[in-house]
Amino acid sequence: MNSPIWGILLAISIQNVKSYKFDNFTVQPAARQLLDFKLEHPEPIGLWTTTSGEPVEIRENTAQNTDIISNQVFLDLQTINDGERVPERIVHAKGTGAYGYFVVTNDVSKYTKADVFNGIGKKTPLVVRFSSSVENLGGTDLKPEMKGMAVKFYTEEGNLDLLCLQNPVYFYRDAFFFSSLAHGLKRNPQTNLFDFTLFYDIITLRPNTLHAFMWTQSEYGIPNGYRKMNGHPIHTYEVNNRKGEKFYVKFNFRTEQGLDNLTRAETIQLADPDYYIRDLYNAIENKNYPSWRLEMDVMTFEGVKEVDYDPFDVTRLWKNGTYITVPIGRLVLNRNVKNVFRDVELSAFNPGNLVPGIPGPPDFMFKTRRLFYRDTQNYRLGRNHNKIDINKPKYAKLYSRDGKPPVDHNMENAPNYYPNSFNGPIPYVDESKPREKLLILQSNAVDFEPHSYFYNHVLVRESQKQRLVDNLAVTLVSVTSPVLERTIKLMYLIDKDLGRRLTVALELARVAAAQRAQAIAARNGELTPIKRKSDLHSEDSKDVKLQFVKRTN
């Protein structure tokens, strides 16, 4: 049995095994991807080579009893393996993507001269990256949080990136807060666990963050897959037409699959950490192409200065009656990526990637994001990240040269300085560029009106309000003093009914948590006495209970 002939016969028998296609309609495309590849390629796709292109001889397919230093394919596999990854994104690490197109359905030339949005029937290729915001690469899709939808339009005037979230408001309006919030959403540096006391401490000390957090803990927090969520670029964008007239708009991608969300109980039943990725891939492979309707809410240059709220505040909604809604076109995804690392992991999105006619948001938050995203991509992918295939614009002639690969054609022998007298690339004159600028001074004051509006007018049904309260209560069970007291006080300030409901729901959630802990202890053989409901509060939280009773009365 140890004779080398058995190895040869085994190899021959494996090569001669016949493959059959079974018409099993219960197997979704994601599960049969490898079989589909073989059916598309009935013969091997070619000779295996080293990275330098040398064909691999079959006896080099082992490291045993060989000169491994001379085995080039072995060295390729081992030395490249350690460098397979690029740094993981700090936020929005786990994601997927797909290719598609955008088609203009309405004339919006009155508002913007952007070529991508002008000419009914005009098609523009694009790529979309969907992602969770908090989870690491191996995390779960089914967590209540902000989901991302980053869209890159490959326009004739450069790449236009619209970075969207599934909910229409953001956590903060002061970019100084980004680093602290990012740390608060991640793991405790000592325990390496998600720590709700840490998180609530941060957000309750910046109460304007509570508005976005209420969205994530409501029924809008867990979309039923990426296909059934909306996409909002959050900021108020300045746009201008060919006459130089300026408008201020909020872009919104509205899902045409129907907005749908999951409850926490449903996510437990699904028990699939890759549910979103699997759902999107299978839908596209089954030719059930996801689509979104792009609209923009519009204010005039004069109107934006007359409203009684800050329309550039990313932590609030625009008030009804202060804007009009204008349809633009449809986004359709019709092709899955062929290689996730090449087309998703190496993709680089930057809200600062804009085009003529869309100079972008004028607020300070957006200005700092332009810096953040550039720094992120430079760190992750290098300063030539826009020369990676997935990020390349349709047309680019520049004076930025050299550096770490990729360098593309590196502008070959054209002049590498500007100005020059030898016909290097030249700038253009935009005769319709607006001459007026809007200076924005934003307040740091906390306003609970948007929070209250969400609770009373977005959550219109009792069941919606109760779901928010129950979800908040679950996250508060492990929160300790003084953060817990501060959180409850803020909920009362947002709305008394919210505070009262949360007080009751927290008591019930603590009982349920104690019962689960007792069950785990019993299963592990630990002699933990069953606690009475009155004993569920620690000494530090007795005052909290008294405050609850006082406020309830």
Residues contributing to the annotated binding site: 373
Binding residues for heme: 373
CB 114 within 8 A of CB 157: yes
**CA of 527: how far to CAs of 513, 518, 523, 532, 534, in Å?**
17, 9, 10, 16, 20
Q: Tell me which residue has tokens 């909920």.
A: 491
Residue that the structure tokens 């590196």 belong to:
410
Q: Two tokens at 397? A: 């002639």
Tell which residue, 338, 461, 428, has the closest CA to residue 389. Answer: 338
Distances (CA, A) of 508 to 68, 501, 511: 64, 11, 5
Beta-bridge partner residues of 95: 131
Cα distances from 302 to residues 74, 244, 321, in angstroms, run: 68, 14, 15
Q: Name which of 335, 394, 256, 387 is nearest 97 in CA terms.
A: 335
Three-state DSSP string of 426-476: CCCCCCCCCCCCCCCCCCCCCCCHHHHHHHHHHCCCHHHHHHHHHHHHHHH
Give the separation between CA 401 and CA 395, rounded to whole angstroms.
Answer: 16
Residue 439 CA from chain centroid, whole number:
30
The answer to whether 444 and 207 are in contact (CB under 8 A) is no
Whether the CB-CB separation of 281 and 30 falls below 8 Å is answered with yes
Burial of 82 (0-12, 13-18, 19+ CB in 10 A): exposed
438 Cβ contact list (under 8 Å, min separation 6): 238, 246, 301, 304, 305, 362
Amino acid at 247: F
Query: How many angstroms separate the CA atoms of 483 and 201, rounded?
Result: 6
First-to-final CA distance of the chain:
84
Chain mean position to CA 474? 24
Amino acid at 344: V
Q: Tell me, what DSSP letter sits at residue 156? A: T
DSSP state of 166: S
The Cα 20–Cα 155 span in angstroms is 44
Rounded Cα distance between 440 and 68, Å, is 65
For residue 480, the one-letter residue type is T
How far CA 484 is from CA of 370, 533, 542, in Å, comes to 36, 19, 12
Strand partners, 294: 253, 329
